Amino acid sequence: MKYTNFDELTFRNSVEKALRKVKAILVTEKNPRMAEEESDHKWDDKYGLAEFLTNTSVASQLNILEQLGLDEKNLEAVMKWVEEEKQTVTMHFQAEDGCSFLKEQEQEISTTDVTTETRVSQEAQSSFFGATSTNWNDKKTTRVIQRVKEYHWKVFVSYKLKVFKGDDPSSAIELQSRNATTTLVTSGGQATARRGAQANKPIPPIIERTVHPATEVDLTWLFQKLDDKTDTTFSIDRSADSCRTPRRNKEVQEAYEYHQSLVHWMLVVLNFFLDRMEKDIMAKHNPVKIEDPQKLAVGTKCQMVGIEKDQTFNGKYVIVREYLVSADRYRVEPMNPSDGLPASLTIRKTNLKVDTSSGPMLSSVSVEDIFTPILPLMENFRCLSMPDANALLAGQKSSIQNAFEVQIQNVFPPRQLAKLASQAEAMILLLCTHWLDVIEHYQNSMNYIENMIRKQLVQAIGNEVNQDDFDAFMRFHNQKLYGPLFAPKPFTYAIRRPRHYPDGILSIESTNSQSNESINTMVRHVPGADSPPIFIPINAATSIEMTGDRYLHGWMQHRFETSASEGTTSAEYRLVARARQFSSFLLVIGTMAGADKFDPKASIILQNKDEVMIPLLTKVLPTAKEFKDAIASLSPEQQAFCQAFRGMQLESSVFGVCVIQLKPQLEALLGLPAGALTKEIQLTQDLMSLFMEYQIPSDLLTFEGSDSVSPAGKLSAVKGHVKSVLDVITAEKEKQLLEEERRADMRYEQTMLAEDAVVEMDMATVSSSMVPQASTVSIAPEERSRAKKSLSPRRMLKSKQAVPAVPPGRPSPKGRVASKNIITAEHVQPSSRPTPSKVGQTQPSASQQAAADSAVEDFTLVPKKLDAKFADLDTDNSLRSTILSATKTWTRLRQENLLSSLKSSVLRQEMIESEKNKAFDLLDAISRSGTLPIACSELHVIISVSHCFENDVMGTVIQDNIDPISKIEKSSLIIGSTIFGESCEALLAESNDAERLAASFPSLFIKN
């Protein structure tokens, strides 16, 4: 929800504290309570409470402006500006400050006395035991005086607070102003002799002159809410289209904007007094602290310290009134009467610490005791009466006056004295801080109304509703709202032939939900037998003819809050395809490119428990109204360009998923009866291997005999063809393996001969130099030959077990050199990709083509039809066409063999492209390069639309006052009537629902 920072517990505590003051102000018979405790109030009473709070806020701010200087005469002049002259009213604050050097002086600081002791020894007369000596100490006390520099500065601060009309500052009414000058003392280091004119030049506490930027705030809204008698007149137009709730409407929004501008202005003013004036200037007053042994002067400001009898006195400020000589004590009086000190008391000098600061601090001003009358109170299910409101406002004025007397009048000096912080500055600070409190109470009170609605809604439902809860409800609700033929169904389809076990499952799931729920779509089944074929181009010359069934899906997403903005792309859904063990199918993903053309973007083969998860990107387009408004002021050429581009976007939003069952197509390709390969697991695996890995032409495997042959005979013939091809592949592999062995033997022989030559040369050299010729050991050539033969690679291989034969239909082991594209005489032709051939293709006649074209249903026109309907019927401007597309990163789960577990792998763009090439190679093979139609296929065409809400589910209901259920019902009727080509009445299950919806949305039920 679009909540502001609302702390309910803190707000409740502040209201409960204020209630005690309220009961003291009002008569004893009154018993106002917080609005939610008056549970029997009505919806209109919430509007009344919002108006009461806003009017009270306006009156409270008038009280503050009156204390700032906008008296009755000035208020009359301002009201004339607004009512008669229709001028704006601006409040302006301007300040500047600076300093100049006055003098430099030295202060002497006496430190503690230093005592030195000297021991002196003097020899005396001799005694019986020998010479004696006498010792004594010589003590000397010295006082050390330290000289420290002080710099005196003349500091000035000036400011003006005024209001003026329009942009005419000359008409200004001055509310507050002051030019204050004082002396500020800073202390430097230890005094030394100067060396040069610039030696020890003092650093000023602030720069010579600073003119602070002026800050202004528009007060026009405030004075517009007053009549000629200065009574408040704020009200909410509840019949306006912009009026949603007591908190969310045009009038309250204007009040919020005004209050927010005031907050910014107040912070700038407070920053000047608290940060600039107090911290940057006053806090730098730091004269040298000299311990005065003499008595304190009358009027000295001191702080009480070290009192043990009543320690609560410590830290509080007093003024010295006289010195009592007989008692050696001072009679002092409290500086602030609210500190709880006696009116007069006597105290020792040791318990008094002289305050050397530049004066009382502005930050000590507090508004805690000022009453704020903006409270969400009710009595007897109604807001407080006007007399009660006036009594509360009078209590506010009284508390402001009391705070001035207690905190300012007896603490701060009058504005006439040469002090920076005077009663004038303290009063401005007090009023501005209280003004901020008024604004905060108003905003919190308005948020309290909204929070009260939320709590009542949660209490009625039992919990807060999130998007998952809402989606689950709509799935349940739609099953009751629509007839059995038109109700949305889960996008989960078994890939199967009639009366056969499924080969796999295809679904689109939500990744946001914990249970990965399938999306629900309105689906219309278009039988393939009743429709012209759809073509899938796999290369420039070959298109696959699809004659299977088609399913047109209308999918409406519910988008809440931040996901609703146009142009955003998110991957909150995924396409999931799973194949069962010993089953296989082919998946093609793309978009419709015309009435009879499907443009493939990616493709993959799934078999033997493969599972592929493909994230889907959803990108929402601008609404029809937004598009129309955006191009309204463009030139005709620019509009034509935008319309053409949007048309392309709408057509490209027709997402498609095509599933092709491989076993039925293999049966049709090989001339086998339907179902012949159902139980032929090994034969099917061999066929897939031959087509995918070796790209064997289907003519080598097809049954070409008479149709009168039994199904078993046809199957046996195909098995024979498969075995023959596999035998050729196996023989070729063995041949290549033997050839490689011979090559290895030859390389080994050459290596050994070279090594023998080197050894013989080395031995001859050694023999001639070290051993006599008669002792040379010779090796017979026959023995060397036998040794080489025994160590040859071929004999080493034969010494082990025989090489196992390659299983039929299986690729050769990885360690051996064998080619997948086997070259055999008269049988298998090498080809990395089949070369398409148009020989034997039959082209339809002109009449057949015209008949086919007339019967083709163009799915790419559906988004345009929907867009036109949205422009006419979507009065909320919330329906957006959505483009679906697959991401470039997929996830695949695969089981390498029956004994291993599933392993996950990520397919990136290169691997996806490789899988697409494999799939297209297989498609080319099983369709005879496009000449054999594929009947066992399903094409799912998905038209995606997003109903976008600006808030979350609870915020839509509470803050926007919108029933999302009825809005979704309307949108789904628009989509359903387009998908099925039926009237809205025909889609609904019950007549009472038709009557209810016709009353709410009559434009949907207008009969042409």
Least confident of 116-125, 225-234, 639-648, 873-882: 116-125
Q: In this structure, is the dihedral angle defined by the CA atoms of residues 533, 536, 541 and 545, taken in order, positive or negative?
A: negative
**pLDDT at position 676:** 92
Tokens representing residue 713 in the block: 């005979």
Please give the pLDDT value at position 143: 63
Rounded to 10°, the helix 862-873/624-631 angle is: 80
* Strands 549-559 vs 569-579: parallel, antiparallel or unpaired: unpaired
**The predicted structure's pLDDT at residue 417:** 84
For 80, the enclosing helix (H) or strand (E) is helix 72-83
Beta-carbon contacts of 26 under 8 Å, excluding residues fewer than 6 positions away, are: 32, 388, 391, 392
Q: Ramachandran region of residue 784, left (φ > 0), alpha (ψ -120 to 50) or beta?
A: alpha
Helix, strand, coil fractions of the chain, as percent rounded to 5? 40, 25, 35
Q: Hey, which residues does 126 pair with through a beta bridge? A: 131
Give long-range contacts, CB 8 A cutoff, 24+ apart: 562-565: 563/948, 564/620, 564/946, 564/948, 564/949, 564/950, 565/620, 565/948
In this predicted structure, what is the pLDDT of residue 265?
96
102-106: long-range pairs with CB below 8 Å, 24+? 102/152, 102/153, 102/154, 102/183, 103/151, 103/152, 104/149, 104/150, 104/151, 104/152, 104/202, 105/149, 105/150, 105/152, 106/147, 106/148, 106/149, 106/150, 106/191
pLDDT at residue 315, rounded to an integer: 83
Taking the C-alpha atoms of residue 782 and residue 243, their distance in angstroms, rounded to an integer, is: 112
Assign 839 a pLDDT band (cuts: 50, 70, 90).
very low
pLDDT single digits (tens) 671-716:
999 999 999 999 999 999 899 888 899 999 999 888 889 999 999 9
d(CA 520, CA 509): 9
- Dist. CA 118–CA 133, nearest whole Å: 16
Instruction: For residue 451, report the phi and psi dihedrals to the nearest 5 degrees.
Output: -65, -35
Residue-level pLDDT at 826: 36
Q: In a 10 Å sphere around its CB, with 0-12 CB exposed, 13-18 middle and 19+ buried, how is residue 403 labelled? A: buried
Among the ranges given (116-125, 405-414, 834-843, 898-907), the one the predictor scored with the smallest mean pLDDT:
834-843
Q: What pLDDT does 123 receive?
A: 52
Lookup: tokens for 702: 């097809």
| Average pLDDT over every residue of 580-602 | 95
pTM of the predicted model as reported, rounded to 2 decimal places: 0.75
Instruction: Give me the residues paired with residue 938 across strands.
Output: 549, 659
Q: What is the pLDDT of residue 639?
A: 95
Mean pLDDT calculated for residue range 836-853:
42
Average pLDDT over the chain, rounded to whole?
84
pLDDT at 764: 61
Q: 769 or 448, which is more confident? A: 448
Q: Please determine, for residue 836, whether its predicted confidence score (pLDDT) is greater than 90.
A: no
Answer yes or no: is pLDDT of 119 > 60. no
**What CA–CA distance (Å, rounded) separates 651 from 649?**
6
Q: Is residue 848 predicted with pLDDT exceeding 60?
A: no
Torsion of CA 762, 764, 768, 772, to 10 degrees: 120
Instruction: Please give the structure tokens belonging to residue 28.
Output: 């004893």
> What confidence tens digit (pLDDT) does each residue in 343-373 have?
888 988 888 888 766 567 888 899 999 999 9
Largest CA distance in the chain: 161
Cβ 78 vs Cβ 68: under 8 Å: no
Kindly report, residue by residue over 498-507, the tens digit of the pLDDT. 889 999 999 9
CA distance 807 to 809: 6
Of the listed ranges 68-82, 391-405, 764-778, 954-968, the least confidently predicted one is: 764-778
Sign of the dihedral through C-alpha 234, 240, 246, 252: negative
C-alpha span between 589 and 449 (Å, rounded): 51
pLDDT digits (tens, 9 = 90+) for 322-351: 888 888 889 998 877 667 788 888 988 888
What are the start-end ranges of the H helices in 624-670? Answer: 624-631, 636-652, 662-670
Compute the average pLDDT of residues 446-464: 93
Report how far Cα 471 is from the mean position of its chain's Cα atoms. Answer: 21
> What's the rounded Cα separation, in Å, for the pair 283 and 131?
70
Of 60-64, 216-220, 797-801, which gets the smallest average pLDDT? Answer: 797-801
Alpha-carbon gap, residue 618 to 909, rounded angstroms: 19
Among the listed residues 772, 732, 700, 752, the one whose alpha carbon sits nearest the alpha carbon of residue 925? 700
Tokens of 814: 């990885």
Q: Which of 309, 387, 418 is nearest to 29 (CA)?
A: 387
pLDDT of 773 > 50? The answer is: no
672 with 712: CB under 8 angstroms? no
- Assign 857 a pLDDT band (cuts: 50, 70, 90): confident
Identify which of 25-39, 128-142, 147-161 has the greatest average pLDDT: 147-161
Banded model confidence at residue 178, pLDDT cuts 50, 70, 90 = very high
Distance CA 435, CA 19 (A): 20
CA 665 – CA 547 distance, rounded (Å): 12
**E strands, 244-348, where?**
301-304, 317-324, 329-334, 345-347
Q: Residues 717, 703: contact at Cβ < 8 Å?
A: yes
- Distance between CA 797 and CA 740 in Å, rounded? 13
* Closest to 450 measured CA to CA, from 17, 4, 10, 40: 4
Q: Calculate the CA 639 to chain-centre distance.
A: 34
- Asked if 589 and 657 count as a contact pair (C-beta separation under 8 A), the reply is yes
Partners of 891 in the β-ladder: 613, 906
What is the average per-residue pLDDT within 859-877? 93
Query: Which residues are CB-contacts of 349 (< 8 A; sequence separation ≥ 6)?
Result: 295, 296, 328, 329, 330
What local confidence, expressed as pLDDT, does residue 667 receive? 94
182 or 289: which leads in pLDDT: 182
